[in-house]
């Protein structure tokens, strides 16, 4: 049974065509992943489905009485609410029934009306069948699964970090138990333990969901079908990401062979027409021309910008790339135990641990973005640092990527800047659009291009894979692997870093 039907969807974002006559059907029980390169319109499609964005053309038809839940990580929340009070809002309808039940009992005590007693009985049954009296336990179990218990459910929303706030919003959505979940990057602020909890939850979810995630291992574990966005079309495949991409590649190769065969046929027909159009076979040549005119020509296979990321290296004559002595990091209070660390030149180190534990704070301290609270750290002379921050903040988001890189590197030519953006996976036409119009993944590619224009021997990469597509991720992985210098990498994707790092430091073991 279809719960969602999309027909003839056409939508543009600025000068970019996201969808053109695209169609898709989502059925009951579909655990669907939306895939595609950065900027193809995955998040925009979610916003169209919620009504936040109106499409230029086309129809969106939901099943009647379908309850839809949307993970909006930027929704406005009441700052003074505690986490537990915010989560209880997921059961507001039941609390309203309880209030009505209490009022009915009060009225019954005065009138002894059988009708009131009957109404109260129905409400009581509804509350019992809805597990109303287990709400506290339900909230605690889910909060524990997402790591909220460790933060403290009595903490006010205004005191939470951005990542913690996103977790709370996700928790409330799951507690609401809608028929359909619309999830845009739900794992961005989850560590491995809580991602695996979410995997189990979604695999047991009886409803349907549409999911956008650049964590392909996560997508592969929770989906049973894929809708791939490419060249303005939505193509649905059965199976998880691995099976769907294999099917997509097979379809692509089949189409390529059909296209090449047709091109050969056209070339032969055109050669025959040129040769005989003026001779004694002119009639046959005209007949061939009519056949050629009637031929329904296949569209040439499209091509996408493929990333070729590479970080320029400057040699360093030293044995140790970094040493710390009793280094204490934090803001007002220390986050971690005093850190004694020695990293060799050329060593690649991954930092792991749950969100908010202090990984980014450690990186910011080592790159001198914020001061240390105590202790010291040292680099060799001639150390050149390049730093990728996960924050997509710009001094002026109305600048184009080319203008931004021109401001950062005024001595470079426009050809050099275009080349680096292309190698980061950003198409030339997007290099001319303002940063504000780019998707999160496209903005990340601008940051990667910026990094590629800096010579370094020590790289700090803070969650560089958060928004990028699989092609860019693979190119980044290879770039880190072949980079001769030292790398500090923060990532929640173990499958991204496990094969390319020499050491993994678990920050949870350093918590005060």
Each residue's pLDDT tens digit, 380-392: 999 999 999 988 8
pLDDT above 70 for 304: no
Task: With respect to residue 169, please indicate whether it lies within any of the assigned structural domains.
Answer: no
pLDDT of residue 302: 64
Pick the more confident residue, 37 or 395: 395
CA distances from 419 to 408, 453, 454 (A): 15, 10, 14
Q: Is the pLDDT of residue 109 over 60?
A: yes
Which range of residues forms the domain containing residue 290? 245-294
Determine which helix (DSSP H) or strand (DSSP E) holds 349, and give its type and residue range. strand 348-352
Number of domains in the chain: 4
Average pLDDT over residues 63-89: 89
Give which of 176, 170, 177, 227 is closest to 197, Cα–Cα: 170
Domain's final residue, options 239, 256, 274:
239
What's the pLDDT band for 306 if we cut at 50, 70, 90? Answer: confident
pLDDT-based confidence at residue 281 (cuts at 50, 70, 90)? confident
- In the chain, DSSP finds a helix count (H) and a strand count (E) of 16, 17
Specify whether 264 is located in the same domain as 366.
no
Q: Are residues 283 and 361 in the same domain?
A: no
CB contact burial 325-362 (16+ within 10 A = b; e otherwise)? eebbbbeeebbbebbeeebebebbbbbbbbbbbbbbbb
Structure tokens at 251: 């379809």
Same domain, 188 and 211: yes
Asked whether residue 303 is assigned to any structural domain, the reply reads no
490 occurs within a structural domain: yes
Higher pLDDT, 511 or 5: 5
* Domain end (from 239, 261, 286): 239
Among 112, 134, 164, the domain boundary falls at: 164
- Phi/psi for 225 (5° steps) reads -160, 160
In a domain, 304, yes or no: no
Neighbours of 25 (CB within 10 A): 15
pLDDT number for residue 303: 60
In-domain check, residue 306: no
Residue 187: CB atoms within 10 A of its CB come to: 23
The mean per-residue pLDDT over the stretch 484-504 comes to: 92
Residues 84 and 63 in one domain: no
**pLDDT for position 250:** 87
Q: Do 93 and 182 belong together in one domain?
A: no
- This prediction's pTM: 0.70
Q: Please provide the DSSP assignment of 1-25 as one string.
A: -EEEEEEEEEEEETTEEEEEEEEEE
Question: What is the chain's mean pLDDT, rounded?
Answer: 89
Considering the domain architecture, whether residues 332 and 382 belong to the same structural domain is answered as yes
Region 478-506 average pLDDT: 92
What is the per-residue pLDDT for 272?
87
73 — phi, psi (to 5°)? Answer: -75, -5
pLDDT of 300 over the 80 cut: no
Q: What average pLDDT does the segment 502-509 reach?
A: 85
For the cut 60, the answer to whether the pLDDT of residue 512 exceeds it is no
Helices 440-452, 470-482: crossing angle, 10 deg rounding: 20
- 342 and 480 together in one domain: yes
Beta bridge partners of 68: 180
């Amino acid at each position: 049974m279809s719960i969602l039907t999309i027909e003839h969807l056409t939508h543009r974002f600025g000068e970019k065509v996201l969808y053109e006559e695209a169609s898709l059907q989502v059925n009951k029980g579909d655990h669907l992943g939306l895939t595609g390169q950065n900027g193809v319109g995955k998040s925009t499609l979610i916003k169209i489905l919620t009504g936040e964005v109106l499409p230029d053309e086309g129809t969106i038809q939901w099943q009647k009485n379908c309850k839809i839940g949307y993970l909006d990580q930027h929704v406005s929340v009441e700052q003074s609410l505690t986490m537990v009070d915010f989560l209880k809002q997921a059961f507001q309808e039941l609390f309203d029934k309880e209030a009505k039940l209490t009022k009915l009992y009060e009225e019954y005590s005065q009138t002894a009306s059988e009708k009131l007693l009957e109404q109260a009985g129905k409400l009581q049954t509804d509350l019992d069948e809805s597990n109303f009296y287990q709400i506290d336990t339900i909230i605690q179990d889910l909060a524990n699964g997402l790591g909220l218990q460790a933060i403290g459910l009595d903490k006010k929303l205004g005191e939470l970090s951005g990542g913690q706030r996103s977790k709370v919003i996700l928790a409330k959505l799951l507690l609401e138990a809608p028929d359909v979940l619309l999830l845009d990057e739900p794992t961005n602020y989850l560590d491995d333990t809580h991602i695996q909890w979410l995997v189990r939850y979604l695999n047991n979810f009886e409803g349907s969901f549409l999911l956008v995630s650049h964590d392909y291992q996560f997508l592969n574990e929770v989906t049973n079908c894929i809708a791939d966005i490419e060249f303005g079309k939505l193509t649905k495949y059965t199976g998880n990401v691995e099976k769907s991409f294999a099917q997509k590649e097979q379809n692509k190769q089949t189409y390529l062979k059909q296209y090449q065969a047709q091109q050969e046929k056209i070339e032969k027909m055109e050669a025959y027409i040129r040769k005989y159009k003026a001779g004694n076979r002119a009639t046959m040549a005209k007949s061939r021309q009519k056949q050629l005119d009637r031929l329904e020509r296949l569209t040439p296979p499209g091509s996408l910008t493929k990333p070729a990321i590479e970080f320029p290296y400057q040699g360093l004559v030293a044995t140790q790339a970094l040493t710390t002595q009793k280094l204490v990091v934090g803001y007002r209070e220390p986050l971690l135990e005093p850190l004694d660390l020695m990293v060799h030149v050329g060593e690649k180190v991954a930092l792991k641990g749950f969100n908010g534990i202090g990984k980014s704070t450690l990186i910011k301290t080592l790159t001198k973005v914020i001061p240390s609270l105590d202790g010291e750290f040292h680099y060799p002379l001639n150390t050149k640092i390049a730093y990728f921050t996960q924050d997509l903040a710009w001094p002026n988001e109305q600048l184009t990527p080319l203008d931004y890189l021109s401001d950062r590197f005024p001595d470079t030519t426009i050809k050099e800047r275009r080349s680096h953006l292309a190698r980061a996976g950003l198409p030339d036409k997007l290099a001319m659009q303002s940063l504000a119009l780019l998707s999160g993944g496209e903005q990340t590619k601008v940051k990667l291009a910026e990094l590629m224009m800096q010579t370094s021997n020590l790289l700090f990469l803070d969650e560089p894979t958060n928004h990028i597509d699989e092609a860019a991720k693979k190119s980044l992985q290879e770039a880190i692997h072949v980079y001769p210098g030292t790398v500090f990498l923060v990532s929640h994707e173990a499958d991204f870093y496990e094969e390319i790092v020499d050491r993994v430091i678990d920050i949870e073991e350093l918590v005060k």
